[in-house]
Amino acid sequence: MTSPPGAHLPEHPDFLWDNPEPKSSYDVVIVGGGGHGIATAYYLAKVHGITNVAVLEKGWLAGGNMARNTTIIRSNYLWDESSGIYEHSLKLWEGLEEDLGYPILFDQRGVLNLAHSLQDVRDSVRRVNANRLNGIDAEWVDPAGVKEICPIVNTSPDVRYPVLGATYQPRAGIAKHDYVAWGYARAAHAMGVDLIQNCEVTGMETSGGRITAVETSRGRIAAGKVALCAAGHSSVLAEMVGLRLPLASHPLQALVSELLEPVHPTVVMSNAVHVYVSQAHKGELVMGAGIDSYNGYGQRGSFHIIEQQMSAALELFPVFARAHLLRTWAGIVDVSPDASPIVGLTPVGGLYLNCGWGTGGFKATPGVGDCFAHTIAHDKPHPFNEPFTLERFTTGALVDEHGAAAVAH
Amino acid sequence: MQLIPCPWCGPREEAEFHYGGQAHVAYPEDPSALTDEEWARYVFFRDNPSGPFAERWSHNAGCRRWFNAVRDTRTHDLLAVYRVGEPMPEVTA
Ligand SMILES: Cc1cc2nc3c(=O)[nH]c(=O)nc-3n(C[C@H](O)[C@H](O)[C@H](O)COP(=O)(O)OP(=O)(O)OC[C@H]3O[C@@H](n4cnc5c(N)ncnc54)[C@H](O)[C@@H]3O)c2cc1C
Ligand SMILES: [Zn+2]
């Protein structure tokens, strides 16, 4: 007798979380099961003891930008406001594997942000100084220093965009994005949080200026508080309560090469030539570009962006000429006017906003999870997200991080 | 590569064009009368729909003229193109 196909395979390992039916009511409903949504649920339960919480995800858990980003983690932003929240996040990354009891392959291999023009050099040195004043590790390195840290970078002067130096943050690095999401999900589930997949929020109910419930593809769910963590879809959700956001949703593409021997020891980013590169633990070169120019919710972008990105990568790393491109993909990023996020209260009571992270919110996952949970629990922003209000676009108190964040992630 | 039908030159590759964001956003008639709130709306807040969107494009590497388009932001399909000054055409997405 022949056995059926797969009969020799072991049992499926234990699932890291359940797939519960939604209850009719929760204290807190989080919309969006990406990194930010799951991390927020985790810190609500862990730090604030709030466990009657549901995370509603329209697709599968962490299948949005969380599954699509290039995992660069750093805290070398220019302004004090940004230093606060990104450095808080980096410190949490440094203890996260232990905190979650789950491997996340966090690897502090450092990041080089290249300067290619005199203006770049001045801006970069200024940023190094600003970082140091905020207690963030940062160094200015000259082209020889760049070559020492990353020998495969082309530092010859006779290229279109010569490398004139770089900022270096040794504590920066990468992590395995899926493991981060799964680690948070497993721990949140263990504390009683319901992670509900295939559940799209389609409407919101308010009464007397307060949020009371969400309508979903799986029925109405009453909620004491609702927290939006919908990244690229934030405008669509806010619109459900008549709230307008200063966001534009754009495609952002990335790609990987075939698996290669270790050749690239750090992370290299360049705003001027629009590319950033690291090598994943498995061996693929991971590269990202700038956003596609147009608004888009299609999770796909245009091919000429990939072409530009590859030509930039080849100029910086001639050794990549023989590598084959394996896969390209796109996410939907919610870009804000000052390249900084919006995290805080809204004019609707009990409705909280976390969006506008655009091309760079993966690194913020632990930090914003912690601060947003605090904001929800106390109905008051945490000091680290206090500057990132929606009102700043009216008062003019912008946190302009275009220099540190524009193409870079 | 998408082909974008310039209303003057016909279909050309997307790389020839420059994106200009939401169309039909008029400069305030009496700027000095605007409140901070109204200025914020004008400067920073744009529609960001998942679906048909009226937007501006410039045919930078061609005739160098601006025009408007209605594009479905979910599929990136161009549903209509029309000249500046013309009203947004009816579209079915
Ligand atoms: C190609 C690419 C590269 C990037 N590289 C970096 C990087 O190197 N470093 C960095 O720091 N950041 C990077 N980012 C940005 C980062 O990925 C995002 O800022 C971050 O992931 C956003 O938070 P999130 O994980 O919660 O988002 P997401 O994972 O997108 O989560 C939002 C979730 O909301 C769900 N949702 C939307 N609407 C609804 C609804 N109506 N009902 C229910 N659920 C809904 C979505 O399905 C989605 O799962 C990159 C992004 C992309 C696309
Ligand atoms: Zn033309």
B→A contacts (Cβ < 8 Å), by residue, are 1-2, 13-15, 18-19, 21, 36-37, 39-41, 43-46, 48-50, 53, 55, 71, 73-76
pLDDT mean over B17-25: 97
Q: Is residue B42 part of a domain?
A: no
Instruction: Look at chain A and count its residues.
Output: 409
Instruction: Tell me the mean pLDDT in the region B30-45.
Output: 97
pLDDT at B65: 97
Cβ < 6 A, ligand 1 pocket: A 31-37, 56-59, 62-66, 68-72, 200-201, 229-233, 237, 252-254, 288, 331, 333, 357, 359-363, 409
Ligand 1 center to residue A335 CA distance, Å? 12
**A142, two tokens:** 């000259």
CATH number, position B53: 3.30.2270.10
Both tokens assigned to B17: 């064009």
Three-state DSSP at A392 gives helix
Choose the closest CB to B44 out of A298, A300, A393: A393
CA distance A351 to A106: 33
Q: What is the pLDDT of residue A1?
A: 61
Half-sphere exposure of A251 (CA within 13 A, CB side): 22
Q: Which of A43, A362, A372 to mutate to test the pocket of ligand 1 (most atoms within 8 A of CB)?
A: A362
Q: Tell me if B38 is assigned to some domain.
A: no
Q: How far is A22 from chain B (nearest CA, A)?
A: 26
Ligand 1 centroid distance, CA of A128 (Å): 28
Q: Which domain holds residue B89?
A: 1-26+49-93
Strands (E) across A236-350 are located at: 248-259, 267-270, 275-279, 284-291, 325-335, 342-345
User: How confident is the model at residue A271, as a pLDDT?
Assistant: 84
Give the span between the Cα atoms of A114 and A154, in whole angstroms.
11
Alpha-carbon distance A44 to A63, whole Å?
Answer: 22
B40 found inside a domain: no
Please report the pLDDT score of residue A406 as a whole number: 53
Asked, for residue B39, whether it belongs to a domain, the answer is no
ipTM for the predicted complex: 0.97
Distance from C-alpha of A47 to C-alpha of A44, rounded to nearest angstrom: 6
Q: Is A378 helix (H, G, I), strand (E, B) or coil?
A: helix
Would you call A340 an interface residue with chain B, using a CB distance cutoff of 8 Å?
no
Partner-chain residue, chosen from A293, A297, A337, that has the shortest CB–CB distance to B50: A297
Walk along chain A (409 residues) in steps of 10 and give the mean pLDDT of each run. Answer: 81 90 98 98 98 98 98 97 98 98 98 96 97 98 98 94 97 98 98 98 98 98 98 98 98 96 96 89 93 96 93 93 95 97 98 98 98 98 98 97 68
**Which of A253, A293, A294, A395 to probe the B interface (max B CBs under 10 A)?**
A294
Residue B34 lies in a domain: no
Mapped onto helix, strand or coil, the DSSP state of residue B80 is strand
pLDDT at A225: 98
Say if residue B1's pLDDT is above 80.
no
Structural contact between residues A295 and B72, judged by C-beta atoms closer than 8 angstroms? no
Region B2-22 average pLDDT: 96
> What is the Cα A119 distance to its own chain's centre?
28
The sign of the CA dihedral A141, A144, A147, A149 is negative
Inter-axis angle of helices A80-100 and A365-378, nearest 10: 100
Q: Which residue of B has its CA nearest to A305?
A: B15
Domain assignment present for residue B35? The answer is: no
Atom number, ligand 1, closest to the C-alpha of residue A237: 41
Handedness of CA A39, A44, A50, A54 (dihedral sign): negative
In chain B, how many domains are there?
1
Residues whose CB falls within 8 Å of the CB of residue A147, separated by 6 or more in sequence, listed in order? A153, A155
Q: Show the CA angle centred on residue A212, arms to residues A208 and A214, nearest 5°.
A: 135
Contact A236 B49 (CB under 8 A): yes
Locate the chain B residue with the closest alpha carbon to A332.
B74
Determine the pLDDT at residue A14: 86
Q: Is residue B75 part of a domain?
A: yes
Please indicate if any CB of chain B lies within 8 Å of the CB of A273.
no
Q: SS in 3 state form for A281-306?
A: CCCEEEEEEEECCCCCCCCCCCHHHH
**Does A298 sit within 8 Å of B48, measured CB to CB?**
no
